[in-house]
Structure 1
C-alpha cells in the first residue's frame, strides 16, 4: 500500500494503525525494562532512556521548525512537570522488575482516573457524577488488584500505583503547558531535564550494560518516543473517544507477552480489577461524549 492509497483510508482506521504502533511501542518498552532490570538499576534505565531520546528529539526539532520551537517562559512549570513524570517513570520501571507485566499495566490504567481528580483541584474542572462514578470504579478495581486485606502488598505494586499518580500529575501540568508550548518543546525539555535526574543517582552504583543488553537499551530509548509520537498522531486523526479505548488493548497484549515469554499467569483478582478500572475509563469517555453531543 503506497502513501496515496493510505491517505484515502478512513481517518479512524488510520488512527487505529497509529495506535497499533503505540501499543507495540509500550509493550516493547516494558519488555526492554524487564530485561535491563537484570543488570541495571532503575535510575540507570531512566538515564539511558533520556540519553538516547534527547538527540533523537533534537534531530526532529531541527527538521521541523528549528530551535525557535523551544523558546519558553515557563521553565519552572516544565521542571515541575518532569519531576512528577520522572517519579512516575521510576515507579513504572521499578515495578517491571518485580511484578507481572499485566499487573503493571493494569495499575497504570488508573492514570486517567487520578487525572480527573487532579483536574478538579489544579485546573478547576467540575467533578460530574459520571466522572465520580469512573473514579469509584477505578479505585475499587485497584483495591481488588492490590488486595490489601489478603496479606503483604508487594512494594512494587505500590510503586506502580504512585507512578500512576505521578503520570496523572504530569498529564495535568501538560494541559497547562500546551496553551503556550509546542509538543516538541514539551518532549525536548522532558528528555533534557530527566537526563541529569537519572544520571546523578545512577552514578552511586554505576554498571555498564553488557553487550547483550545494549539492544534493549536502544529499544527502551526509541520505543519511549515512538509510543508518544504514535499516540499523538492517532489523536490528530480521531477523537479521544475513539483512540483511548484502543489503548485498552495494551492489557491483553502485555498479558499474552508475559505468558509466552515469562510464564506469567493472570489471577482472578487481576482480571476482575482490570475490568473495573477499564469500565471506569469507558464510563468517563461515554460521559464526555454525551456532554459534547
Structure 2
C-alpha cells in the first residue's frame, strides 16, 4: 500500500506539473503509449501470451471509454482544485459503484450499503459546502470523474470473473491509446524537455499503483486496504501545501472521515461470514488508473 499511495501521489503531481504546458488529451495519449510499451516488453520477456487472451472484448471497450473519461475529468480537476480536495471527492467512487452495481449487476442495496451511501453524500456536502462551492466547476468535474471511475470499476468487477488482471491492464493501455489519439489530434502538442520525464513517471506509476493494490488485496483484508488508502489524503494535502502552497480546511478532513466511515461500514462483514477469497478480493481493486 505504501507503493500504491506513492504511485497515486506521483500521478497527481505529474498531472499538476503538466497541466500548465501540455493539454490533457496528448498527455493521456503519451501516458498510455508509455504504459503499453512497458507492459508489452514485460509480456515479451515472460513469453506468456495466454495472460492477455480475452473473452469479452466489447465490455473491455466500454470499460476503457468511461475510464478514459474519468481520467480526463480527474486530471482536469487537478488544475482547478487543491490536490487534497480532488482526492477526497475521488473517495466517493465506492459509493457510486454500490449504486451502479445495484442497477447493472443486480447487487442488493443492504442496510450497510445504504448507511455508506448516506454518509458518503454527507461527506461530499461537507467538503463542497452547499451554497459556496457546490456549483464550482472543479467540484463538479471531480465528482464526474468519480462517477466515471465507478462505471469502469463495475465493468472490472464483471470482467474479473473471466479475464486475467494482466489482460485488463494490457487492454486498458491498448484500447485507450487510439481513443486518446482521436481526442488529442485537434490540440496536438509534442512534449518538450522535462515533460517527457513526467510522462514516463506517470505511465510507470499507473502500472505500479495497480500492481501494488492488487498485491495488497491478496495479502490482507479489504477493510485494511481501504483504511490505508485514505492515508493518501493527508499525504497529498502535505504535498500540496509544500509544493503548491495550497490551503486545506478542516471541512475537507471532516468530510473525508464521513466517507471513510461509510466505506468501512459497507465493507464490514458479520462475524459468522467467512472472509473473502483472494479472487473476490481481486474484484474489489479500485479502478482509478
Query: Residue 182 in 1 paired to residue 164 in 2?
Result: yes
- Find the counterpart in structure 1 of residue 224 from structure 2: 242
The aligned runs of 1:215-230 (5 Å cut-off) are 215-230=197-212
Contact 2:55 2:163 in 1 (8 A): no
Q: CA deviation at 1:87?
A: 1.0
Query: Residue 47 in 1 paired to residue 29 in 2?
Result: yes
Of the structure 1 ranges 209-218 and 171-180, higher mean CA displacement relative to structure 2 is found in 209-218
Contact 2:133 2:139 in 1 (8 A): no
| Residue from 62, 69, 84 that aligns with 1:102 | 84
TM-score (norm 2): 0.91
Contact 1:23 1:250 in 2 (8 A): yes
Contact 1:114 1:168 in 2 (8 A): yes
Q: CA RMSD in A?
A: 1.6
Contact 1:91 1:156 in 2 (8 A): no
Q: Which runs of 5+ in 2 are unaligned?
A: 276-289
Contact 2:30 2:199 in 1 (8 A): yes
- Find the counterpart in structure 2 of residue 37 from structure 1: 19
Task: Give, in whole Å, the separation in 2 of the partners of 1:52 and 1:250.
Answer: 25
- Find the counterpart in structure 1 of residue 249 from structure 2: 267
2:166 match: secondary structure: helix
Contact 1:102 1:255 in 2 (8 A): yes
Per-residue displacement from partner, 1:252-274 (whole Å, max 9, x unpaired)? Answer: 11001001111111113322211
Task: Give, in whole Å, the separation in 1 of the partners of 2:126 and 2:174.
Answer: 38
> Aligned pair in 2 of structure 1 residues 65, 254: CA closer, same or farther (>3 Å)?
same
- Find the counterpart in structure 1 of residue 72 from structure 2: 90
| Residue from 21, 28, 35 that aligns with 2:10 | 28
Contact 1:30 1:101 in 2 (8 A): yes
The aligned runs of 1:50-61 (5 Å cut-off) are 50-61=32-43
Task: Give, in whole Å, the separation in 2 of the partners of 1:197 and 1:99.
Answer: 26
Per-residue displacement from partner, 1:99-119 (whole Å, max 9, x unpaired)? Answer: 100000000000011111112
Per-residue displacement from partner, 1:187-246 (whole Å, max 9, x unpaired)? Answer: 111101111111111111112222022211111111111111111111111121222211
> Aligned pair in 2 of structure 1 residues 223, 151: CA closer, same or farther (>3 Å)?
closer
> Aligned pair in 2 of structure 1 residues 212, 203: CA closer, same or farther (>3 Å)?
same
The aligned runs of 1:1-293 (5 Å cut-off) are 19-64=1-46, 66-150=48-132, 153-287=135-269, 291-292=273-274
2:20 match: secondary structure: coil
Task: Give, in whole Å, the separation in 2 of the partners of 1:68 and 1:209.
Answer: 35
Q: CA deviation at 1:97?
A: 1.1
TM-score (norm 1): 0.89
Of the structure 1 ranges 250-259 and 53-62, higher mean CA displacement relative to structure 2 is found in 53-62
Task: Give, in whole Å, the separation in 2 of the partners of 1:224 and 1:231.
Answer: 11
Aligned residue pair count: 275
Contact 1:22 1:230 in 2 (8 A): yes
- Which contiguous aligned blocks of 4+ residues in structure 1 show a shift greater than 6 angstroms? none
> Aligned pair in 2 of structure 1 residues 117, 102: CA closer, same or farther (>3 Å)?
same
2:194 match: secondary structure: coil
Per-residue displacement from partner, 1:60-119 (whole Å, max 9, x unpaired)? Answer: 223445222222231100001111111111111110111100000000000011111112
Q: Which runs of 5+ in 1 are unaligned?
A: 1-18
